[in-house]
Structure 1
Amino acid sequence: MTATTAAPTSTSATPRHLWTRTRGLLLALAVLIAGAITLAAMHSDTRHGSLDPRSADEYGSRAVAQLLKEQGVSTRVVTTLDEATAAAGPDTTLLITVPDLLTEGQQRRLRAATADSGGRTVLIAPESPSLDVLAPGIRAEGSATVKPRDPGCTEPAANRAGRADAGGVRYAAPDENTDGCYPVNGLPTVLTTSARGEGDTVLLGAPDILFNHRLDEEGNASLALHLLGTRQHLVWYLPSLGDTSATDGGHRSFFDLIPAGWRWATLQLALAAVLAALWRARRLGPLVTEHLPVAIRASEATEGRARLYRKAHARDRAADTLRAATRTRLAPLLGVAASAAHHPEVLVPAVSARLPAGRDPLSLLFGPTPADDTALVRLADELDALEREVRTS
């Protein structure tokens, strides 16, 4: 006895049907994969990131590190708070690229390590509340556009550098032991304040003078060398979100516990959901007639449709339905072809011939939409009266 395979039915999936159903999803996946590959390719080169002295990218700082090396200043990159605090000393300049990224506990530890070290601390664009801990008494007073500006101060290093790309955060310092340069509207964007241990702290309102692509413009190179080359060693601190010291003595929020890049991942998921919704929305096929399991009286169907029209305030659709039905019933009574029943130039003269002189059925059969429900009911009554009058004429 041989086994037989069932013949395919009209509902069996064919390769064409499978392709039609899945092509939208495959296209969305292809777009996501292409985007991921592009992002990976953009970040897979030798660049380390913005303000990184190892980076040859236009927003890196390798050029200034090379100039400092020629001046006998060594540069060392650190990414943890323990390394940064351990390196603080009288012969060291500690550069903090993103001080606002540090937690309050990290800032207090850093302040305690550098306040009496006798070295120099350079803060890139610090704002509140990091200023309250790392540079007490100094306030951030808004920001300004970065562009070439004159020193506007008596500080020798700034005057030797001359015009430089300055701007960004502006600082207000009531303390007399400060020297501000490159002012914008009376407030400096480069500020030096003396520390207790004969060291100092430099606030740099914008990092542009340290970027590779701007170092050869104006007096940027000279100003950068004067700010970072006063000590024998330069420690370049790049704060990292993975630094375990961020949890010491503080509480982390829910968003701090989520891995970096969650915003982009959420955006990609939202985009994928939108694409999937658009793909599924266009899968509506043609209408299919279906025999009802029970018989429904015509009056119930009419009342149901009327309630739907009333709920949607669709007086225009209801009026068109009433007029079209009346015209369809009048056409065979008047000897008008069914195809011409909805043409006023054919139907109206035939109806007028059955009515008394002076009656014009045009506005009744092809008129405007009733203004309210009362007018719609009156229209239905008048159409019934017109049909009875034509039948009895």
Structure 2
Amino acid sequence: MSAGLDVALRGARTTAAVPLSARLRSAGVWIAAAVVILITVIVTMLMTSDRGEDDPLHYDSTSRGGGKAMVETLREHGVEVTTTEDGEEAKQAAVRSDTTLLIPANSEVLSPGDIAGLESTLAENGNGLVLIDPGSTVESFTDRITVNDNLRPLGSPDAVSQPNCPVPSAQAAGAVSTGEVEYAEAEKGTSGLSACYPLTGPGVEEVDGTEVAPGSARGQLIVDEGGDVPLTVIGNPEWAMNQTIDEEGNASLVLSELSGSSHLVVYYPQQSGAEDTPPSTLDYVPSWFIAGAVWLLPCVLILLLVLGRRFGPLALERLPAVVPAVETVHGRAALSARSHDRLGALHTLRTAALLRIAKRLALGPETRAPDILSQIAYKTGRDPAQIESVFVSAAPRTDAELTDLVHLLTRIESEIP
């Protein structure tokens, strides 16, 4: 088997090593994909993140149960809205005339002193108060309204409730979504109190079995103008939530009740002592950053695993390694060709040719190169200058010139008898 054929067969059986640039390009694809996915996750979390997602009807919450849509709609309709979680700020903002104070949730965390301070400020300036579904806490604000417990559930009530009262905002809004809690007058015949949207239908019934009369002082909306502070109780929180404010007449009813004055103060009480707790380091880190870092950790491990496997398993080889001479020759030739070392390759061919010719002419090992060149010129009859150029001085600048010199070198060697 010839050396060339041997090299061809071995080249077909072996796999060329993957260049470093190719490995880097492949790794770059994985890195770029991980970055794109991470950015997508972060943008998605930013677009869907909610301020106070556990705080229903919070004025900054864009979640389904938040109240941001209500607040922003009121601002668009010319109402000056002030939002706060601080009781003192709410009290100071409520000093202005033509102001309504709205407590959308968490009214149960207010102490009797807090409630008395707010109501005193409102009463001194002739301003009103709106509560959204305060539950039994309503009795801490007034002794004229209570939760109506004189109903017996028989199943699912009507999906919508009719006003059944002369209140202008309720008449304009019409039917609204039905809630779960009904409020009523604390004492029968309380003057200055209007109740709208009573729970009626096949799903509820009064304990005594009497029918609900239009204008009766019980319902999901209570407007009390007879107390020290004008008070409105919105009994169904879904009327003001982002998800359901656009259903039925919910938006019309809530916005009408809250836009009766030019200035609205939205006070969202927080648990006592919550503001006194010093923030930790994690409080300053966005939630999306922590989620992204946790998500990126397995991606980095997978990437390292993929890059590590690209180098292949470890190869065991017995030492010393014996390399055939033909492999060395062809290996050096390949290195010369890859590095475009034409002069080095030509020098190797010239030296081998001179050694073969000297042996053919029976010249001793002490014979110098000029003597060998003169013998070649004499035996072939060629010009000594041409022989000197081919075997010594010619320097090829291109692969074509190198090929021509090698062919001429081979032809001259073949002319030696």
User: TM-score, normalised on structure 2?
Assistant: 0.44
User: TM-score, normalised on structure 1?
Assistant: 0.46
Q: Rg larger in 1 or in 2? A: 2
